[in-house]
Amino acid sequence: MNRDLSLLQPYPFEKLTALKAEVTPPADLDHIALSIGEPKHPSPPFVQACLNDNMDKLANYPTTKGLVELRQAIADWCTRRFSLVEGSLSAEHNVLPVNGTREAIFAFTQAAINRSPDALVLSPNPFYQIYEGATYLAGATPYYLNCLEENGFIPDYDAIPEDVWERCQLLFLCSPSNPTGAVTDLDTLKKLIALSDKHDFIIASDECYSEIYLNEERPPVGLLQACAELGRNDYKNCVVMHSLSKRSNLPGLRSGFIAGDAALLEPFLAYRTYHGSSMPIQHQLASIAAWSDEDHVLDNRDQYRHKFDAVINTLSPVIDVKRPEASFYLWVKTPIADDKFAQGLFASQNVTVLPGSYLSRTANNQVPGAGYVRMALVATVDECVEAAQRIRHYIETL
């Protein structure tokens, strides 16, 4: 077996399961899960109808590159959403459908890394664990960039040593951030593009939360948008990953895309042809419908705003809780150790949250997720309100 498999750490939810197994929650309270970022809003009916209408496509093999109609729908959506130059994002050369961002992040890393003893992949910390696992299995070493409150939970890129940039082959961005909800601004993206030019590394931006934001006047900017503002219409060394899971409440569709530099996507397509990760045709047709409609996305954001308002109003008298710029997460500082807080909350209130330390690694003598918990406001409004009331009660007993 691949010896690098031994480098993989338990997934955060494995740790959480073990933590919860040490206590017994009250039987008279229904469980409310705020731990897993799985959207619970209803999937769009028109997407379900499109799936049902095309079940005969089960008889056909899909191609790795996907339907040109899907790639065009994605290119059109990106161009509208991120103010790209018309035609600069070619459906033929700059877009590939993928089976969700997790699959794309892992596979792209395997294709992008040129194995060498000094190869580095830079990642935010705390982070989505697939960045780390993909790095190890590609034969590189992760380099963690602490996301601290004093920097708005964005890495301090100016503090990264020159020799680290020289060894960097791939930089992961997560904007809006999982778990903090922080958004990387346009000036920072432009600065990173300049660093990519200087040191010749790839920037891969995980933007799967980009369509869940609280201010309709300020949608999160994206990496391709920064490229467009710089006149880099070839998107050199830049790729983005997007998904329908959060935007359209379709996590089970396993549908997303990677878009950007054609010089990177061409060899990645060759990798995927061997990797065998083609999207079923009926899923592709349903995805075209989803990417072509914005009304359901507006309604989705409205529901999250309502939940944020209700939960924050309930919790703010007893704990410091701040509204994020985007995503459906609250990143909440805990009055006791984050794992003890999560375990005690489950034991007394049957509410599950995720300790922030489970999403972090030690870097520069810090564990930046320690002392926080992530609350995913994915349950119904009533469940989120009930969970907030129970969390408040638990905090008041500490």
Residues 290-340: tens digit of each pLDDT: 999 999 999 999 999 999 999 999 999 999 999 999 999 999 999 999 999
Which is it for strands 141-146 and 351-352: parallel, antiparallel or unpaired? unpaired
Output DSSP code: residue 339.
H
> What's the pLDDT score for residue 182?
98
Q: Which residues of the chain does CATH 3.40.640.10 include? A: 59-293
Could you tell me the two tokens for 23? 């206590």
> What's the pLDDT score for residue 276?
77
On whether the 59-293 domain is CATH 3.40.640.10, my answer is yes
Low-confidence ranges of the chain (pLDDT < 70): none
> What's the pLDDT score for residue 158?
97
Topology of 3-42+296-397 in CATH? Answer: Aspartate Aminotransferase, domain 1 (3.90.1150)
> What's the pLDDT score for residue 277?
83
Residues 91, 72 contacting (CB under 8 angstroms): yes
Residue from 35, 149, 5 nearest 387 by CA: 35
Mean pLDDT rounded to a whole number for the chain: 97
Could you tell me the two tokens for 125? 């910390």
Residues 95, 259 contacting (CB under 8 angstroms): yes
* Residue 376 β-bridge partners: 329
Distance CA 294, CA 306 (A): 19
> What's the pLDDT score for residue 160?
97
> What's the pLDDT score for residue 239?
98
Could you tell me the two tokens for 100? 């969700």
Name 130's Cβ contacts closer than 8 Å, sequence gap at least 6.
102, 105, 106
Q: Which residues of the chain does CATH 3.90.1150.10 include? A: 3-42+296-397
